[in-house]
Amino acid sequence: MQKRIRRGGQARTRPSLVAAKARQSYLSQPFREKLANGVTIVGESIPSVESTAVGVWVNFGSRDENKEENGLTHLVEHMVFKGTRNFTADETIEAIEGRGGYINAFTTKEFSCYYAKVFKEDIEPAIHVLSDLVLYPKFEESDLRNERKVVLSEMQEVSDDPEDWGMDFIEERIFAGNSLSMPIIGKASLLKSFTSEHLRSFHSKNFTADRIVVSVVGNFDRTSLMYLANKYLSSAQTSRKIFVRRKPAENAGRRIVVHRGTGKQAHLLLGVSASSLNDPDRYASSMIGVILGDGSSSRLYKSVREQSGLAYSVYSYGSAYADSGILGVYACTAVRDIFEAEEKILSTINQFVRDGPTEGEVLRAKAQLKAGIVFSLENLWDRASLFARDELYYRERSNVLGSLASIEKVTGADIVQAAKKYLTKESMTSLKILPNAANDLPYHKKDATSVRQKSNAER
């Protein structure tokens, strides 16, 4: 499962746009080709390296499931490694790790990805194994019985982490009534009901050629790559179903207290709907998160931790999707300080919305966003991921210089406009996670809703 973008950590050196332009050859665009059945291949050959990163992406995630299917995409990710048409479970791993490579997979709300990094001479076994995982898993019932236990353990691990659990809870509330509200990992009751036949039917219906993007970056020959892609992926079937996602409606914010756990700390999360990956103001929206809660120079870090001593950990986080997104704030504090911490966070946000960013904050936010792009291009897998995501979300080749230029064009006024659009009191959902020992304390009455919430592992 893919983790959200958590903002924080050490400050990064600001990359110069002039320097980026000087490296234009380094920021070259990938090639893009399609197989006859609709599988898309994007890639970039870099002869100076000794390895190759290969990812097979499927444009289908948990938001594309029906309610009765919730968790199946994630379960497929687990089960494909139990054996395929051409490889046993051990042979799948040995074919990559036995050659010194690395193989893994993850599922998000909008896609799943199966990937490997290998030496340049091992690109064929990598593509063979990954294509088998995506196209020809066996889904044996005996393997499913064992893997259910693994996924249930994973559910419990998420449930035991208030941070992760709280972020899932916030998304459930903000996207209520839409499939984006469903957890990637699913629910225990559904997981226990799935059979191998469920998996086979679900997989054949949704893991189709028109939804597959293969992204390859590293030392390879383009002609040879296309030969391998045709050899191992041309048999994939194309779906006849029109692929449509329903945009989530705007939901009013809520104030919620949840009692769970035995710890002595309280966890506070605030969340609002924010820009999608396709919105014109997506960079301005991202800069809001950077200015408010990214690192020790952010406003929330200074006001909540340094000036008030109300929390050790406080940061902003974000999740962006094709047609919506979330901007959130997380803080961990003492139970007695949680209301004061919330008031300090809200006052900091309100001041930002009212007065806007300083010139220095705008420059820092631009530097952070550009650094995230430029630095990722120095890693083969991150580079392959960028190319695949641009294909999945924008149906076009990556334009790194265009993205850097778009970031540079954002003004302080653009950020203010985005802040006033998204950071409204009416749309903000507040979640306080408190230990059970704090159940009867009178200050809970300040909040409108107090509930005991089951985790996905208990549902």
Residues with a known catalytic role: 77
Rounded to whole angstroms, the maximal C-alpha distance in the chain is: 70
CB 127 within 8 A of CB 232: yes
Question: Which residues are bridge partners to 332 per DSSP?
Answer: 267, 313
- 3-class secondary structure, 27: coil
- 3-class secondary structure, 202: helix
- Enumerate the H helices of 111-221 as residue ranges: 123-135, 141-160, 162-174, 188-193, 196-206
CA 348, 352, 358, 360: dihedral to nearest 10 degrees? 60
Strand arrangement, sheet containing 449-451: 5-6, 313-320, 325-334, 265-274, 429-434, 255-259, 449-451
Name residue 311's amino acid: A
DSSP secondary structure of 379-432:
SHHHHHHHHHHHHHHHSS---HHHHHHHHHH--HHHHHHHHHHH--TTT-EEEE
| Alpha-carbon distances, residue 425 vs 176, 253, 324, 349 (angstroms) | 18, 8, 19, 10
Pairing mode, if any, of strands 212-218 and 265-274?
Answer: unpaired
User: H or E segment at 363?
Assistant: helix 359-376
Question: Which residues are bridge partners to 382 per DSSP?
Answer: none
d(CA 172, CA 390): 26
| Alpha-carbon distances, residue 213 vs 55, 58, 403 (angstroms) | 8, 6, 21
Pairing mode, if any, of strands 265-274 and 325-334?
Answer: antiparallel
